[in-house]
Amino acid sequence: MKQSIPLLLLLPWSLNSWAQTSLNTIEVHGISEPANAEQQSHDQADLERNASGFTLGDYLEHLPLVNSASYGQGVGQPVIRGQTGYRVKILNNDQQTTDLSGMGADHAVAVMPKAAKRIELLKGPASLLYGAQSGGTIRVIDRFNDDLLPQPGLAGKVYGSGSTNNQATQLGAGATVANESISLELDGHRQSVGDYQDGQGNRIRFSDSWSQQVQAIAGYQQNDWLIKAFISDLEMDYGIPNGSDKASRINLQQQRFGIKSLHNLQGEFLERVQLDLQYTDYLHDETEGGSADGLFGLESFAANIKLDAHYDHWLASFLFGYQQQTLQVCHEHGACQDFSVASRTGNNTSLSVKPIGGGFNLPYFHGHPMPDTQTQSFTLGSHFEGEFSAGLLSLGAYIELRELKPDSKNIQENWLMPSAPTENIDYADPDFYRSQTDSALSLSIGWQQPLTQRLTSQSSLSYIERLPSSEELLWNGNHHATQTYIMGKRDLTKERSLTLDWDLSYQTQNTHTNLNLFVTEFSDFIYQTPLRDSQGHEIKDPDHNNTVWQTLQADARFYGLGLQQDWQIGRWQQADWTLRQQADWIRGQLKDGENLPRIPPMSYQVSLQQQSAHWFNQLSFKQVFKANQLERYETPTQGYQWLSAYSRYQTRALGLDAEFWFKADNLLNQQARNHLSYLKDTAPLIGRQLSAGIELRF
C-alpha cells in the first residue's frame, strides 16, 4: 500500500465554508485555545478510553508520534518519536521511576496508569526542569501532586470491569475524607489478565499478567503551608511469551514512601518553595520453568527542592535534586533467592573463562552479569518562560553530576580481569570496575509566535547530553527472558543530540490542525546490535545458544512528522459531533545510511465522536502500514487495520454519579503484529475483544 498522507486530512479545509453556511442555524461550539506544544496534559480517563491494554504504553500509543513497544500483555514501554528506554524519562510524582525498564525490553514500567490522575508529555525547554532526554519526559501524576487538599467532606468511588478473549478483570476503590486542614485518601487497584488469543484464534501461552497497587495519602494545610505524605505498594506478575516451552515469568515488587512540604510565599519575586523526599525499594525476580534464575534490586533515595519565581512578565522554576541508587543483580540457575557475595580463593583461575566463538576472542561469562553498583547524582534543572517581543520565549537548562561506584564483590573469581591477555582472549583493562565521575549539560530554547489570527508557530532547539547508564557500561551476561547475551562497553562516551522541533497550529471556529516536524541529530548514539561473523550469521553464546548483542556507538539521525486535526462537525440530535484524524511518519538511521531497527511504521487513524448530556460514543479506525524501512537483517512486518468502538453513559441516581461503559477492540479480528516488539512473531497483538465496566462515585 502506498504510504502517503491521507487526503482525508485535508477534508475539513475544503468543507469549512460549507459547514458554516449549511449549519448556520445550529449552535457550533468553538474549540479551545491550542495547548502549549511543550507540555501536553491528558486526563487518565481520556487515555484509558483509547487504550487496548493496561500498560503505560497502551495508554499513550494513540497520541501523536507515540508508540508502545509491547512484550506481551505485561509490558508496554512508551516510544516517543522512535526513542525509548533511557531516552525517555518517566516520572512518578515528579521522581524518576526507579524500575529497570530501560535495562531490558521485557521489564515493565513500574507504574499502574489506572491509578494516575493525569499524564503529561513534556518536550523542549519544559522537559529540562526534570531531566535531559532526547525523547522527552512523561509525568505520571496522582493526587499527591495536588497543591491543595481535597474538598471538605467524604468522597469515594468503586469500579469494576471485565473482558472477553483474555478474561481480564479490573476492580478498584478509593475514598477521601477531609476538612479545612486535614485530609486522608486511600485507594486500591487490582487487575488480572489471562492468556489471550490472536487474530487467528491461537492462544498465546504465558501471556497472562496480574497487578495490584494500594496507596495512602495524608495531607495537612495551614494558611500558605501544605505538607503531604504518601505510602504506596505495587506488585506485578507477568508471563513472557517468548516461544520457550518453559514458562518465563517476572514478579515485580515496589514500595514507595514520600513526603513533601510546600510553602506559598507570595513574595515580590519568590512565589513558592517545595521540598520532596522519596524512598523506593524495587525488586523483581525472573524465573524459567519455576527456577529462580535472575534477581534484580534497585534501592533509591531522592531529595528535590523546587523554587518558583516571577519577575515582570517572566516565570521561572528551579529544581535542585539529589539521588542515590544501589543496583544489585543476580544470575545463577535456581540460586537467585537472594543476592550473594562471591567466594575468593586467591588463585588465578581466569584460564577457565570461555571465549565467545566466531574468531572474536571475547571472554564469555555465565555468572552475575554486572557488579553491584552505587550511583550518586546531583542535578539542577531550570525553566524560564515569558513574553518577548510579540511572542513567548522559553529557556531550559539541566546540569547533572554523577558518580558511579561499581563493587565487584558479587563477581565470580574466574571473571576478575587479569593484567594481561591470556590465551589470546581480549580482556578488559585491570580497572574495569573503577569508579568514575561524569557530568552532562543540556540546553534548550523555544519560541511561540502567532503568525496570523489563526496560525501559530512554536519551535524549539535542544542540545542534550546523556550519560551512559551503568547497565550500558557494565552489563556482560545472559538475559534469559529475552534469550540474548548482552555485552556492554566500558569506554562508552556520553551521548549528544541536537533536536529541532517545530509545531504549526491552525485554528478556525470549528477546526484545529497541528503539524509537528522534528529532526534529531545524534553524536555517539548508543545502541545494541547482534554480533555477526563475516558471512552475516549471528554469533551465539557457548552455553545457551543465545544471540550475542554488542553495545556500540555511532552517529545517527531521527526525523519525522505528525499531523493531527480535530473538526467539530456540528450539533445534531442534541449531540456534538467531532471528527479527529492523525497521521505519523518516523525514520531512524545511522549516519552511514543503515536503518535502525524497530522504528515505528507509518500510521493513520481517524475517529468519529458523539457527545451529549449523558452519552459519549466513539468509533475509531487505525491503519498501520507495512514496516519496510528496515535494518539490514531485520524482517518486515505486515500492516494491519484496527477498528475499535467505545460507548459511555453517565447519570446520577440515589445520590451517586454512575458511569457505564462498553469497549470493543480489533473488531475486524486482524492478525496484527507490533513491529517495535522483540516478540512480534511469537506474541502478535490481541484478537477481537469486548469489554464492559461500571464506576460509581459519591
Residue range 580-592, pLDDT digits in tens: 999 999 999 999 9
C-beta separation of 641 from 620 below 8 A? no
> Residue 500's closest CA among 557, 452, 539?
557
pLDDT band at residue 35 under the 50/70/90 scheme: low
Which residues are CB-neighbours of 148 under 8 A, at least 6 positions away? 221, 226
Provide the pLDDT for residue 347: 62
C-beta separation of 683 from 72 below 8 A? yes
What is the spatial distance between Cα 587 and Cα 602, in angstroms, rounded to a whole number? 9
Which residues are CB-neighbours of 464 under 8 A, at least 6 positions away? 132, 133, 134, 442, 444, 496, 497, 498, 499
Provide the pLDDT for residue 28: 32
Provide the pLDDT for residue 611: 96
Instruction: Answer whether residue 659 shows pLDDT above 50.
Output: yes
- The C-alpha cell 522534528 sits at 518
> Residue 240's closest CA among 287, 198, 206, 210?
206
C-beta separation of 132 from 88 below 8 A? no
Provide the pLDDT for residue 642: 98
What percentage of residues in the chain have a pLDDT greater than 90?
72
Provide the pLDDT for residue 1: 42
The more confidently predicted of residues 430 and 243 is 243
Instruction: Answer whether residue 13 shows pLDDT above 50.
Output: no
The mean pLDDT of the chain is: 89
What Å distances lie between residue 479 and 91, 243, 296, 495, 547, CA to CA?
Answer: 26, 15, 12, 24, 10
Provide the pLDDT for residue 7: 41
Instruction: Answer whether residue 526 shows pLDDT above 70.
Output: yes
Instruction: Answer whether residue 9 shows pLDDT above 50.
Output: no
Provide the pLDDT for residue 425: 53
The more confidently predicted of residues 459 and 108 is 459
Domains of the chain (ranges, CATH numbers): 7-137+168-697 (2.40.170.20)
C-beta separation of 295 from 336 below 8 A? yes
> Residue 115's closest CA among 185, 50, 61, 193?
185
What is the spatial distance between Cα 355 and Cα 365, in angstroms, rounded to a whole number? 9
Beta strands of 97-208 (E only): which ranges? 118-122, 136-141, 153-163, 169-178, 182-193
Q: Taking the CB of residue 21, how many other CB atoms lie within 10 A of it?
A: 8
The full DSSP string for 377-421 is EEEEEEEEEEEETTEEEEEEEEEEEEEEEEEGGGS-GGGSPPSS-
pLDDT band at residue 106 under the 50/70/90 scheme: confident
pLDDT band at residue 11 under the 50/70/90 scheme: very low
Q: Is 270 helix (H, G, I), strand (E, B) or coil?
A: strand
Identify the weakest region by mean pLDDT among 118-122, 180-184, 252-256, 264-268. 264-268
Global confidence as pTM: 0.91
What Å distances lie between residue 305 and 139, 276, 311, 319, 403, CA to CA?
Answer: 17, 6, 20, 6, 20
Instruction: Answer whether residue 349 shows pLDDT above 80.
Output: no
Q: Is 349 helix (H, G, I), strand (E, B) or coil?
A: coil
Provide the pLDDT for residue 472: 94
Instruction: Answer whether residue 55 shows pLDDT above 90.
Output: yes
C-beta separation of 319 from 304 below 8 A? yes
Provide the pLDDT for residue 18: 36
Provide the pLDDT for residue 266: 78
The full DSSP string for 278-326 is EEEEEEEEEEETTEEEEEEEEEEEEEEEEEEEEETTEEEEEEEEEEEEE
Instruction: Specify burial of residue 566 (Cβ count, 10 A radius: 0-12, 13-18, 19+).
Output: buried
